[in-house]
Chain A
Amino acid sequence: MSPPVKIIGHYASPYSHRVEMALQLKGVPYELIQEDLSNKSELLLAKNPVHKKVPVLLHGDLAICESLVIVEYIDEAFDGPSILPADPYDRAMARFWTNFIDTKFSQPIWLAYWSEGEAQKAVVKETKENLALLEAQLNGKRFFGGDTPGYLDIAACMLGPWIGVLEEVTGVTLVNGNEFPALCQWAKEYSSSEALEPCHPDRDRLVAYFTENKEKYKMMAKTMLQQ
């Protein structure tokens, strides 16, 4: 019998969601341990002493941290449909774009939703340029990975359930159907995907979470943009 698989995660974290998506696509059953981020557990602190963050994958005695490192681990350690492409060049392209999402894309779009006034204009411009690059990567495909979701779809999951929630909570519209029809279509494919359905986040719960934390995130954005 194979060792148990658990995720230490949080329902509102797209990084945590990446890990769920990967396990779902591989067909690996898992237990999700919801972490209280305001009062971190002994387990989290022991299993991720360097960063003390979610997600952490527990596979038997092993602990793996950092969402994309975890996704690649899941692809290699378990049988099931491949998440990364087989061809080395295609793998490099997938890694280039996941690197782009984590180093260039994520912070500006986050700031674009939570900031205001003059400071917001610059991050909105940067975000739209980044969104255009991702829009072009879809290039008529259902998913970044082709007919089925792959590595980049997992990395880009924030563009699925989270965008609708953030746009509702903040009143800021960025990913509109006129400028980004392919990304909007992708979000629909994502939310109607049978393969991913079991781990779809609860929209109402996300709306409640981000509404509750609205002032905190707005304050954080203001501080970050002042630097």
Chain B
Amino acid sequence: MARVGGELKLLGLWASPFVTRAKLALQIKGLSYEYVEEDLGNKSELLLSSNPVHKAVPVLIHNGKPVCESSVIVQYIDDAFAGSGPSLLPADPYQRAVACFWAAYLEDKMLTPWGRVFKVKTDEEKAEAMRQTIAAVDVLEDGLKECSGGQGPFFGGDSVGYVDILLGGMVSWVKASEPLSGSKLIDAEKTPLLAAWMERFCELDAAKAVLQDVDRVVEYAKLVMTKNAARASNNN
């Protein structure tokens, strides 16, 4: 892999879909980097000083300068390494705006309720959060149609782009959803384009290199939910 434009270090956690986004972007752009697995129960000095605002992963450190927030990191990788690998965002301002609109939709309408599924206490609250998440996936199907413009299976058309990477980082968790909750997040009967997207995405070399093992994610998720439930009942 090319060692282009300086030293890259990624602070991460193997299970995190947000970290996976950064790994996918680096992989697709053909960039080599040092990976540091963080222990979130014992955060490193480097993590705390690099991301004092959120104290979270991923953090990309480029020549000693930190970039935080997965969506910002992916755009930075595209901007700073424009000559390396494919462009992740379209050149045309309107097409870029369409991609950024759907990226914002993904974060705000799908990921926000989905995150609640792992945090809320009651089965009713979990079911409601899942319902909102699935409703957002239905709308995202239209987003895929709009972004791809019929040019290919990806949001980027015939090649992988920004929105593909943002959603791609979540794929192992999407697959984990059925064993965890009994509901399929991406169901070929309801959202056929997204189901086809997921199949094609998983065939990519970058995806094979980076996506987490689904069974491992399921076990991890169960652990997180148990911890959250214990914390909640200790607070009562």
Contacts and interface: CB of A to CB of B under 8 A. Distances in A.
Contact of B72 (A59, A62, A70, A92): A92
A73 B94 contact: yes
A62 B68 CA distance: 32
Contacts, number: 59
Contacts of A76: 93, 96
Interface size, B (range): 20 to 34
Interface string B34-74: 00000000000000000001000000001001011101110
A73 B96 contact: yes
A100 B76 contact: no
Contacts of B2: none
Contacts of A69: 97, 100-101, 104
Nearest to A92: B76
B72 A66 contact: no
A76 B135 CA distance: 32
Contacts of B97: 64, 69-70, 72-73
B139 interface: yes
Interface in A39-95: 50, 59, 62, 64-66, 68-70, 72-73, 76-77, 88-89, 91-92, 95
A13 interface: no
Contact of B65 (A59, A66, A89, A91): A89
Contacts of A70: 97
A106 interface: no
B1 interface: no
Contact of B68 (A50, A77, A96): A96
Contact of A88 (B53, B68, B76, B94): B76
Given A69-B100, A88-B79, A88-B80, A99 B105 contact: no
A199 interface: no
Interface of A: 50, 59, 62, 64-66, 68-70, 72-73, 76-77, 88-89, 91-92, 95-96, 99-100, 133
21 contacts: A50-B105, A50-B142, A64-B94, A64-B97, A64-B101, A65-B101, A66-B100, A69-B97, A69-B100, A70-B97, A73-B96, A73-B97, A88-B80, A89-B62, A89-B67, A89-B76, A92-B72, A92-B73, A96-B69, A96-B72, A99-B72
Given A50-B105, A96-B67, A100-B53, 19 more contacts: A65-B101, A68-B104, A69-B97, A69-B100, A69-B101, A76-B93, A76-B96, A88-B76, A88-B79, A92-B67, A92-B72, A92-B75, A92-B76, A95-B69, A95-B72, A95-B75, A96-B68, A96-B72, A99-B71
